[in-house]
Chains A and B, each alone.
Chain A
């Protein structure tokens, strides 16, 4: 089957100011793709173009083989806006029944959908009384209506506690297994870690990195940090033998080395035998990798 979403050379300008510049990407059926970037990097703009809410300045966008915002595209695409909002006078159930009818589905599914996102108990309360996290779940419930082929989720986990966040990703795994493509945005790499197949990083409207977490790690080639604990009295001996090492107040040795020389460095330290009490290897953190890509451009 062809790709669910295909974007080529997409550019969007607001009054001459570039919001997106020459962005190209494809999303295959069943793929979970995370779109990362700072506030103002262009994530929401890109999503709105995919949904057909705003037009692109130039470039080509194809959603389920149709133009964004066309009847065919809208029938197969679900959206969860950032800070999902609903009419406060309606109950969660009434709001979902409304959305179900708009999609031509049976309104009787409302309660089971709310149950799936853990809101069954509050279905008959007005949305005006809901917390932010609960509104976000109503938003998620409406995005599940009618087995969409593409889910566009704008910062879906903001306002969710860690447990609900895990439940949310479990739900997405189920949808992706059924063949739905998922494009979700976030501004934290730690949040999407291991729950998405592919990561895209946007910075100032440009796509600066793309790939799996392992790909990004490799391309960024950030140094590995090591902390060595020497046996009593040997700290200085070790520090002299290891170039670039420094001793902190607690007597621990800190050093860094390139990704590819990690093993040889470990072997050298192991050669000291009983002079070494312990060793910790700290790979570059997800935040380090993310900062590396999102700040490189335009600095």
Chain B
């Protein structure tokens, strides 16, 4: 345990020096502010509090931004050690590879949690300032907060796995961008195209829900949207969200970080210094 903490402490310090902590916080804050401001117009008629509306907007944002931030922080984690030549020495220390991965993960998750906390906190403060009923949206915001951190952990683990597979930072960066595009952008487009082509057949009824659950980003969106019914209108997957039980999307959100961690560890074990 003390070796994981030591690694986490050092990684956090490095991220602080490389300004990753500042970049993550500023990005999340900026987007939260922009969404709070943009979300102010259409609220009145819906009969929903301001914060719940903001949460719906933040969900759509977090699905893009949190994985991106996580991949940007993680793609260098192992490939960078290989390139700098620091890995052989580190591996002669009495520290297991899984401990190294867990240490890096702890530091990066802490940074993401900090950024998410600050960003969402500001959004909440902005909503509460103009709408006294916004307190009703706090549970949804809390749910969005911890699922965002879990989503980040999933993509951090995936980033480490790619970093170990690529062994060069440039290659790892390419793979990370590819993964982001694939899982966050193209995956949904593909599903949408398939649903349209299928026209209510077997794919739409049987495979589509499973396909949504199998993607950590979709499971995250699904969970947050179906948990707060007021926001169903804000998303195209609203219909699907209603059909999938809440526990299934919650399970997917909770399991993915573990799967990603296992992938990262096994990829790292194959790296020969």
**Within 8 Å of chain A (Cβ to Cβ): is B273?**
yes
Tell me if A85 and B84 are in contact (CB < 8 A). Answer: yes
Partner of A99, one of B2, B5, B18, B93: B93
Tell me if B94 and A85 are in contact (CB < 8 A). Answer: no
When distances are taken between beta carbons in the complex, the residues of chain B under 8 Å from A81 are 85, 88-89
Tell me if B14 and A102 are in contact (CB < 8 A). Answer: no
When distances are taken between beta carbons in the complex, the residues of chain A under 8 Å from B273 are 48, 53-54
Instruction: Say whether, besides A75-B94, A94-B10, A102-B3, A89 and B84 are in contact (CB < 8 Å).
Output: no
1/0 per residue B1-24: CB within 8 Å of A?
011011101100110011000000
In the bound assembly, the distance between CA atoms of A85 and B81 in angstroms comes to 10
**Within 8 Å of chain A (Cβ to Cβ): is B197?**
no
Tell me if A77 and B92 are in contact (CB < 8 A). Answer: yes
When distances are taken between beta carbons in the complex, the residues of chain A under 8 Å from B3 are 101-102, 104
**Within 8 Å of chain B (Cβ to Cβ): is A98?**
yes
Tell me if B94 and A83 are in contact (CB < 8 A). Answer: no
Instruction: Say whether, besides A54-B272, A99-B93, A102-B95, A85 and B85 are in contact (CB < 8 Å).
Output: yes
When distances are taken between beta carbons in the complex, the residues of chain B under 8 Å from A71 are 94
When distances are taken between beta carbons in the complex, the residues of chain A under 8 Å from B5 are 101
Tell me if B18 and A53 are in contact (CB < 8 A). Answer: no
When distances are taken between beta carbons in the complex, the residues of chain A under 8 Å from B17 are 89-90
Tell me if A87 and B14 are in contact (CB < 8 A). Answer: yes
**Within 8 Å of chain B (Cβ to Cβ): is A86?**
yes
- The number of chain A residues touching the other chain, given as a range, is 20 to 34
Tell me if A53 and B91 are in contact (CB < 8 A). Answer: yes
- Distance from B14 Cβ to chain A, minimum over Cβ atoms (Å): 5
Interface-centre pick from A71, A74, A85, A102 (highest chain B CB count, 10 A): A102
**Within 8 Å of chain A (Cβ to Cβ): is B86?**
yes
When distances are taken between beta carbons in the complex, the residues of chain A under 8 Å from B13 are 89-90, 94
Tell me if B272 and A87 are in contact (CB < 8 A). Answer: no
When distances are taken between beta carbons in the complex, the residues of chain B under 8 Å from A125 are none
Q: Which residue of A lies closest to B81 (CB)?
A: A87
When distances are taken between beta carbons in the complex, the residues of chain A under 8 Å from B94 are 71, 74-75, 102-104
1/0 per residue A90-116: CB within 8 Å of B?
100010001101111000000000000
Tell me if B85 and A98 are in contact (CB < 8 A). Answer: no
**Within 8 Å of chain B (Cβ to Cβ): is A290?**
no
- Residues 58-96 (chain B) with a chain A CB within 8 angstroms: 84-86, 88-89, 91-95
1/0 per residue B90-119: CB within 8 Å of A?
011111000000000000000000000000
When distances are taken between beta carbons in the complex, the residues of chain B under 8 Å from A228 are none
**Within 8 Å of chain B (Cβ to Cβ): is A84?**
yes
Q: Which residue of A lies closest to B84 (CB)?
A: A85
Partner of B86, one of A48, A79, A87, A101: A87
Partner of A104, one of B2, B14, B89, B272: B2
Tell me if A85 and B93 are in contact (CB < 8 A). Answer: no
- Distance from A252 Cβ to chain B, minimum over Cβ atoms (Å): 51
**Within 8 Å of chain B (Cβ to Cβ): is A51?**
yes
Partner of A85, one of B2, B7, B86, B272: B86
Instruction: Say whether, besides A102-B94, A102-B95, A90 and B84 are in contact (CB < 8 Å).
Output: no
- Distance from A107 Cβ to chain B, minimum over Cβ atoms (Å): 8
Tell me if A86 and B86 are in contact (CB < 8 A). Answer: yes
Tell me if B2 and A83 are in contact (CB < 8 A). Answer: no
Q: Which residue of A lies closest to B96 (CB)?
A: A71
Partner of A101, one of B6, B85, B88: B6
Tell me if A83 and B85 are in contact (CB < 8 A). Answer: yes
In the bound assembly, the distance between CA atoms of A85 and B89 in angstroms comes to 9
In the bound assembly, the distance between CA atoms of A86 and B273 in angstroms comes to 15
In the bound assembly, the distance between CA atoms of A75 and B10 in angstroms comes to 21
When distances are taken between beta carbons in the complex, the residues of chain A under 8 Å from B2 are 101, 104
When distances are taken between beta carbons in the complex, the residues of chain A under 8 Å from B14 are 87, 89-90
Interface-centre pick from B7, B9, B14, B93 (highest chain A CB count, 10 A): B93
In the bound assembly, the distance between CA atoms of A86 and B85 in angstroms comes to 8
When distances are taken between beta carbons in the complex, the residues of chain B under 8 Å from A88 are 84
When distances are taken between beta carbons in the complex, the residues of chain B under 8 Å from A83 are 85
In the bound assembly, the distance between CA atoms of A75 and B95 in angstroms comes to 9
Tell me if A53 and B10 are in contact (CB < 8 A). Answer: no
Q: Can you list 8 A-B contacts (CB < 8 A)?
A: A78-B92, A86-B84, A86-B86, A88-B84, A90-B10, A98-B9, A102-B6, A102-B93
Query: Which residues of B does A touch, CB under 8 Å?
Result: 2-3, 5-7, 9-10, 13-14, 17-18, 84-86, 88-89, 91-95, 272-273
Query: Which residues of A does B touch, CB under 8 Å?
Result: 48, 51-54, 71, 74-75, 77-79, 81, 83-90, 94, 98-99, 101-104, 139, 142
Interface contacts beyond A89-B17, A102-B3: sample of 7 additional A-B pairs, CB < 8 Å, sorted by A: A48-B273, A86-B86, A90-B17, A99-B93, A102-B6, A103-B93, A104-B2
Q: Which 3 A-B pairs rank lowest in CB-CB distance, beginning with the nearest?
A: A101-B6, A85-B85, A89-B17
